[in-house]
Structure 1
Amino acid sequence: MSRLFSSGKIGTCELKNRVVMPPMCMYKSDDSATLKEFHYIHYTSRAIANVGLIIVEATAVEPKGRISNNDLGLWDDFQIVEHKKLVDSCHNFGSKMAIQLAHAGRKSLATDSTPVAPSSIAFDSKEPFKMPKELSLEEIEEIKFKFLASAKRAKEAGYDILELHGAHGYLLCEFLSPLTNKRSDIYGGSLENRCRLTLEIAKLIKENIELPLIVRISATEWKSKGWDLNDSIYLSKELEKIGVDAIHVSAGGNQKEPDLMPKLTPLYQCDYAKKIKENISIVVIAVGLITTVKQGEILLEEGVCDFVAYGRELLRNPNLLFSAAKEINKMELIDNSYVRAYL
């Protein structure tokens, strides 16, 4: 029996299989930050190909929260319409839909705005990166409710699940790290204080929106005296306490020159997922150069994770699960229009 093709739940949302398409920025929008024809084709093609959960790329909660001028946004009601079209399209083919709500923080390259961060520490001293402005307590409070407002719009658009982006050196990740957060108020200093903003936003969403919530984290930033796996275990436990439904375990992204970065080999991040899963009882999603169906099956069989995210592999091969269905002689799992290619 294939574990990858078995159904599973994230919170109250039942997924037809254990395959996740993780959020990957496509940089195909414009200053309107709306979905374009590319996005409908890109995501719906993976839905046709049987992916259980599709997580739409990082979607900013305010204009200066975009990574680039070509990123998606959900900070205004007019942006809901195109998201609903996308969700409906993918639902037609049986996939569940999530959206990653994000703020780029100091890594924002959106023009005509000054990036913001927990502290005025630039990601890189060279262009195109800029020196960020340190957020005031009032501005932090505003950002919390911008995340909530975008989450409400996502629910209106029909998304099944929400994901909060706390990884890869973007704003929430910057607050978590002692290397990028030098604040002396309630959001800085101790591990508890540095985790406060991520926990407050997650709690705010869970208390106000009846949708499952995933939080994506960088398990480590691969830097001496920086955010590490033990910190991630603490955060994951705290997120579980407030009702978060899943932890999506990635790594890195917060440092321009990490000194502890491992070689990028297949499954190189999966041990982080395993260690976190050993310490919590909610769903864990593993990601990181998982390239074959066999690897995914082994990760599930060995209890490393509950769901497997295929990123680059689904860019290379949107029909990954059709090939997998052929391998296990489950031809009924292949869309009837494609079956002839697998006979």
Structure 2
Amino acid sequence: MKSIFDKCKFGDLTLKSRIIRTGLWESQQCDLDAIYERYEKIASSGVGLITSELYSLYPKDKFTEHSFKMDNINFMTMARKLAEITHSYDVPILGQVEFIKFNRGIDLDIAVNDLTIEDIRKIQSDIIEAAQKLQVAGFDGIQLSVGNNFFLSKFINPYYNQRDDDYGGNVFNRMRMVLELVKVMKDNLDLHVSVKVNTFDERKDGFDANESLEACKLLEKVGVDSIQITRPLSPLYFTKKLSGEDELVDYATKLIDSVDVPVIVGGGFDNMMHMNELLNNTNIEFLSMYRPFVSQGDFLKQWEANGEGESRCLKCNNCYRTKTSTCYHFD
């Protein structure tokens, strides 16, 4: 019988459980000790892998106010300390690097179709530089978002991408920028490269499940180490009143049969019994959680000790909407 607390291999990493903590917003940029305390609680809880909060690639991006900027004078200090904390509990850590807008000098928010080849190379080199910083800081890997509503998810989406060059058209061409980027990182850096991909896009003529499967197969071919599946505005789908879990699980089982790299599945999970049932009744191996760790960083300790448990998170989505790394109800 599989359990969320199984020790297991995750590509080139060894995990002490099947639970991946996914970060999002960082509202404590000015209080490094508070960040360290939060990560210590999470790392000591029995979690298998930690994905950091968003690290902002560009200083004038949409979410820089709610994320730690990679050009912040304290970034490397903070990153080194987080790697030290998580590794002291034998927990690997990935840095989540994202951006919404690409600015070219005084030209702000350049659209996908208006990027020059020089712009594409600039984005690729900026992400590679970010990955180098993470490696120097001692992180085990990088997670790159080609999902949710971040810039790269738009680049691969036919709803946004109508380019008529080598970076537009079919799925391979729309994925080309990301594929080139992953290959360079795998060839030159000693990092686990994880990519977050949308299962589909709700827009008409947008990125659909078949294209998503094709994109993930291409990522595997260029050396990606793991894939996390998501969807735009994902926390809003997984509430007490509305659940998109069945749809996500159906897609995940197809993807897992199609690729030979670990696949991380999220979906508003908050109950140990339900999660163990999912592990034992499907081919899913790794489950991600976001809001439960905001509500209570070390809840997994209680679950493992009791052999059961349910998160106290109310799924109110206040942390998501207000872009905070702390809980409105319990902090």
The normalised TM-score by structure 2 is: 0.83
Deviation at 1:81, TM superposition (A): 1.9
The answer for the alignment partner of 1:267 in structure 2 is 245
Whole-angstrom CA distance in 2 between matches of 1:43 and 1:59? 15
- The reply on whether 1:203 has 2:187 as its aligned counterpart is no
Per the alignment, in what secondary structure is the counterpart of residue 94 of structure 2? strand
Mapping 1:75-224, distance limit 5 Å:
75=71, 79-105=75-101, 114-119=108-113, 134-224=114-204
Residues 59, 99 of structure 1: 8 Å contact kept? yes
Tell me, yes or no, if the aligned pair for 1:221 and 1:253 is still in contact at 8 Å: no
Alpha-carbon distance between aligned partners in 1 of 2:117 and 2:28, rounded to the nearest angstrom: 34
Over aligned residue pairs, what C-alpha RMSD do you find? 2.5
Distance 2:170 2:193 in 1: 25
SS of 1:37's equivalent in the other structure is: helix
Which aligned pairs between 1:285-300 and structure 2 lie closer than 5 A? 285-300=264-279
Are the counterparts in 1 of residues 45 and 298 from structure 2 also a CA contact under 8 Å?
Answer: yes
Report the Cα distance in structure 1 between the residues aligned to 2:244 and 2:273, rounded to whole angstroms: 12
* SS class of match (1:94): coil
Residues 158-200 of structure 1: per-residue CA shift (max 9 Å, x gap): 1112211111111110101111112222212222211111211
Distance 1:59 1:238 in 2: 25
Rounded to whole Å, the distance in 2 between the matches of 1:311 and 1:280 is 25
Segment drifting more, 95-104 vs 240-249: 95-104
Find the counterpart in structure 2 of residue 5 from structure 1. Answer: 5
* Structure 2: distance between partners of 1:323 and 1:167: 32
SS in 2 for 1:140: helix
TM-score using structure 1 length: 0.80
Q: CA deviation at 1:291?
A: 1.4
Letter paired with 1:95:
V
* CA gap 1:234/1:279 in 2 versus in 1, 3 angstroms: same
1:73-106 deviations in Å (ceiling 9; x for gaps): 3257862221001111222233221111112237
Residue 306, structure 1, aligned to residue 285, structure 2: yes
Would the aligned equivalents of 1:50 and 1:94 in 2 still touch at CA under 8 Å? no
SS at match of 1:238: helix
Task: State the secondary structure of the residue aligned to 2:158.
Answer: coil
Q: Deviations over 1:306-338 (max 9, x none)?
A: 211011122223233222212339xxxxxxxxx
Contact 1:22 1:55 in 2 (8 A): yes
C-alpha contact (below 8 Å) 1:213/1:246 kept by paired residues: yes
**Amino acid paired to 1:147:** I
SS in 2 for 1:296: helix
The structural deviation recorded for 1:47 is: 0.9
Q: Measure, in 2, the Cα distance between the counterparts of 1:75 and 1:172.
A: 20
Moved more, 75-84 or 161-170: 75-84
Structure 2 residue aligned with 1:128: none
Structure 2 CA distance for aligned equivalents of residues 264 and 195 of structure 1: 32
Assess if the C-alpha contact under 8 Å between 1:166 and 1:172 holds in 2. Answer: yes
Deviation digits for residues 180-222 of structure 1 (CA, Å, limit 9, x no counterpart): 1122222122222111112111111111112211100111111
Residue aligned with 2:245, SS: coil
Change (3 A) 1:9 1:184: same
CA distance in 2, matches of 1:147, 1:77: 18
Read off the aligned partner of 1:82 and give its amino acid letter: M
Count of residue pairs brought into register by the alignment: 300
Other structure's SS at 2:64 match: coil
Report if the CA contact (8 A) 1:182-1:189 is conserved.
yes
Alpha-carbon distance in 2 for matches of 1:221, 1:69: 26
Q: Deviations over 1:245-289 (max 9, x none)?
A: 1110111249xxx9xxxx831625332222211211110000121
Q: Is the 8 A contact 2:268 2:289 kept in 1?
A: yes
